[in-house]
Amino acid sequence: MNQAQLDSAIAHADLVEQATLDSLKTFLSIESISTLPAHRTHVRMAAEHVRDELIAIGMQNVQLIEGIVSDTKHEFPLIQAEWMNAPGKPVLLLYSHYDVQPVDPLDKWVSPPFDPVIRNGKLFARGVADDKGQLWIMLKSIEAYMKTAGTLPVNIKILFEGEEESDGEHIARYVASKPDWLKDVTSVVVLDGAMFAAGLPTITNGLRGIVCAEVEVTTLSGDRHSGMDGGAAPNAVRELARIVAALESDDGKVLIPGFYDDILAPDALELASWAKIPFDPKKYQADIGATELIGDQSVSVPHRMWGLPTLEVHGIGGGFSEVGFKTVIPAKANAKISMRLVPGMDPAKIESAFAAFIAKVTPPQAKSTVRFLGNAPAMVVQTSDQSVQLCAQALRETFHKDPVYIRCGGSIPIAGQFARDLNVPILITGFYNEQEANLHAPNENFEVAAFYEGIEAFIRYLYLMGQ
């Protein structure tokens, strides 16, 4: 493929910008919330929508790989497609997810989450940044070549999942089974990262891992009257609150024995790069509406978010918290807890240390059970590889600026698994502005100009990979 064909593909993408945006809006209007059983048909509709689009743009062997669907488990299809007509060229595996997070609290959305609208140059909708907009960037880049050159500069395999925001078990099992289909992949693109700031091209060279847990506490065979039984009958909410409080010291250190033992510190190059990125802790604090930031004061805020582990309680349930009042002693309470891991930490080891600690701090008047809902190790990516360096070049040519290398505090469980099971370089990047995109929160958005720049950069990337 030559420079003229690259230019034509970019020109085509420019020409059809409005149609691209309209088609993205249609995709965004599908309510593909993977974690909520009420939305199962929508998640499937999203899968079928993407499948049909892949066929329309000229991808081949497009299919849905079905997962387990039983009384106790409901998996969503993987979407598979390929275009393998560039003999001798690299084989890129493109990853994204078509599922999205729940939308609560709904009343905080300025416009309905599945009714995409543009305000101040930003497109607002659930999933527009994470990750439907970026999935669309890849499809529309491919389409731009197909509509102009009629061919692609590289071989492409596509593997999209629909349960990244729930447990990702289907794709994990598929990749772990080392299918023949993945054997010829030469590198992976995970387009589920972000730009660190507006207009600042970014490559994500590390992700935190995660351990997800649910703790359930039972103190009674059933709820009791807090007047009649209060003073003698143990309260599950109180016992759970004490267990949760025991997990951390007042200054925020996780008290689980061994929690910090295996951490590998970021190297000097990474620390130097983090010191250079435009980040103002005071502005960040104001932006998120916090009265103080927490964490280890001896390291920078980005270091705390990327290079240190955390423990968070996402929600506590039990007893009565509706409108009105109910004088009850709850028999049961539960907490959803996750720990973010950094390189060096072993998810299995953290799980057993967590379970042992919960058992140790559970008082005799309570019974506790711990259930683990999934885990992923942290990862760091080799940035010297050509597949990463050519991305840096594509970003430079699109944004006229050198890209920055950052880590991400979030987790993309399958990214680490690609590295392990396929043993090929992984590129993680993305185009929405992570400071403003409201990921997983109300008013998720993607700057329209950045979305189009993403398409240009991706078109350039495919070209450079094929040279």
Q: With binding defined as CB under 6 A, does residue 193 bind ligand BES?
A: yes
Distance of closest approach, residue 3 Cβ to ligand BES, in angstroms: 32
Q: Which of 235, 310 has the CB closer to Mn ion?
A: 310
Among ligand BES, Mn ion, none, what binds residue 193 when CB lies within 5 to 8 Å by partner kind?
ligand BES
In the shown chain, the binding pattern of residues 110 to 149 toward ligand BES, with x for contact by CB under 6 A and - for none, equals --------------------xx------------------
Q: With binding defined as CB under 5 A, does residue 192 bind Mn ion?
A: yes
Distance of closest approach, residue 400 Cβ to ligand BES, in angstroms: 24
Distance of closest approach, residue 150 Cβ to ligand BES, in angstroms: 33
Among positions 412, 426, 448, 450, the unique one binding ligand BES when judged by CB under 6 A: 412
Q: With binding defined as CB under 6 A, does residue 163 bind ligand BES?
A: no
CA 282 to chain centre: 26
Q: With binding defined as CB under 6 A, does residue 194 bind ligand BES?
A: yes
- Residue 127: Cβ-neighbour burial (10 angstroms; 0-12, 13-18, 19+): buried
Q: Which of 237, 381 has the CB closer to ligand BES?
A: 381
Question: Residues touching ligand BES: how many (CB under 6 A)?
Answer: 15
Q: With binding defined as CB under 6 A, does residue 434 bind ligand BES?
A: yes
175-199 b/e with 16+ CB inside 10 Å = b?
Answer: beeeeeebeebbbbbbbbbbbbeee
Structure-token match 């990921």, residue found:
439
Among ligand BES, Mn ion, none, what binds residue 82 when CB lies within 5 to 8 Å by partner kind?
none
Q: Among 355, 368, 373, 363, which Cα is nearest to 256's?
A: 355
Q: Which amino acid is at 412?
A: I
Residue pair 97/160 in contact (Cβ under 8 Å)? The answer is yes
Among positions 53, 131, 270, 453, the unique one binding Mn ion when judged by CB under 5 A: 131
| Residues between 74 and 103 that touch ligand BES (CB under 6 A) | none
212-224 b/e with 16+ CB inside 10 Å = b?
Answer: bbbbbbbbbeebb
Radius of gyration of the chain (CA): 24
Distance of closest approach, residue 130 Cβ to Mn ion, in angstroms: 4
Among positions 20, 96, 205, 411, the unique one binding ligand BES when judged by CB under 6 A: 411
| Contacts for 83 with CB less than 8 Å, ≥ 6 apart | 58, 59, 60, 142, 152, 155, 156
| Residues between 208 and 227 that touch ligand BES (CB under 6 A) | 210
Residue of minimal Cβ distance to ligand BES: 410
Q: With binding defined as CB under 6 A, does residue 408 bind ligand BES?
A: yes
Q: Which stretch binds ligand BES (CB under 6 A): 173-181, 216-224, 408-416, 442-450?
A: 408-416
Q: Which of 158, 376 has the CB closer to ligand BES?
A: 376
Q: Among 67, 268, 269, which Cα is nearest to 161's?
A: 67
Q: Among 252, 190, 241, which Cα is nearest to 428's?
A: 190
Q: Among 462, 434, 459, which Cα is nearest to 198's?
A: 434
- Phi and psi angles of residue 393, each rounded to the nearest 5 degrees, phi first: -65, -45
Please calculate the CA angle 434-437-442 and round it to the nearest 5 degrees.
Answer: 135
Site residues for ligand BES per CB under 6 A: 130-131, 164-165, 192-194, 210, 408, 410-413, 434, 439
